[in-house]
Amino acid sequence: MLVAARDFEDGRNFAKLGAPVIMKTTTDKPSLPFDYIAAHEFLTRNDPHLADVVARTGEFQFKLDECDSVYESLLEAIVYQSISGKAAAKIFSRIQALGANGVCPTPAEILKTRIPALRKAGLSKAKALAMKDLAQKTIDGIVPTLEAAQKMSDEELVERLISVRGIGAWTVEMFLIFRLGRPDVLPIHDLGVQKGWAITYRKRKIPKPKDLLKFGERWRPWRTIASWYMWRAVHLAGKDARKITKPGPKKKRSASNKALKNPAAKNKPRGKSR
């Protein structure tokens, strides 16, 4: 299940802070398409702050989504956008019931389903139209099969998938991380990752995306694993995560302040002299 819920505002719930709820606890060693032991050694070797989060987290409980297709993952992601996981699960169960197999409607079935029926299931008009576009682009071959997606680069997948209405870079990044298990993805616009960074590196405010991108260069080629620990940092912080705030807009300097910084400007003649 790929969950793209982004209700970050209250910081009360780990899943709501950007981490899809597919991350379930497990006592089994993860079977992943990357060497997570090498990733941990690299990330903790020269970063005591990140090493502390790793130590306090304990077992690496990263689990991949098991959706059968790119289409199915994105169909579910559309439902989960911007609403609570509980509400999204209920709506998605109604969408699943629209399919003949009761598991997931095919692209052709979505195209045949009228907008009012999708709205009745609980979707907004925008999400209903996004589903229609996803279905059409899947039939047209723009949305690749899972097998084809696994052979494509991250950049190529982002370019392809954001062409679908309602699918942004963040949703594709979650797909890359939690379905394909790509090891070097850094979702710089994810508030959970931003807050986790501020907590881990003891900052009062979240970083700007461009600053997080620059900082994340030190995590290459394991930015996915570092991002996962940023989500865990938020979880470990609990209610204290609410103390992390967004940077406010820069205050404009008043004319008097400008004059104080530049005394010459104060005595500068205005207009033309006669």
Identified catalytic residue from 140, 190, 211, 240: 190
CA 226/CA 213 separation, integer angstroms: 12
Length of the chain: 274
Q: Is 47 a catalytic residue?
A: no
CA 56/CA 252 separation, integer angstroms: 42
Angle at 42 between CA 39 and CA 44, to 5 degrees: 105
CA 96/CA 117 separation, integer angstroms: 13
33, 181 contact by CB (below 8 A) = yes
**SS (HEC) of 118-130:** HHHCCCCHHHHHH
DSSP string for residues in 113-164: S-HHHHHHTT--HHHHHHHHHHHHHHHTTSSPPHHHHTTS-HHHHHHHHTTS
233, 196 contact by CB (below 8 A) = yes
Cβ-based neighbour number of residue 139 at 10 Å: 15
Give, to the nearest 10 degrees, the angle between helix 223-237 and helix 191-200.
80
Residue 103's closest CA among 144, 130, 71?
71
User: Which amino acid type is present at position 145?
Assistant: T
Residues marked active site are found at 190
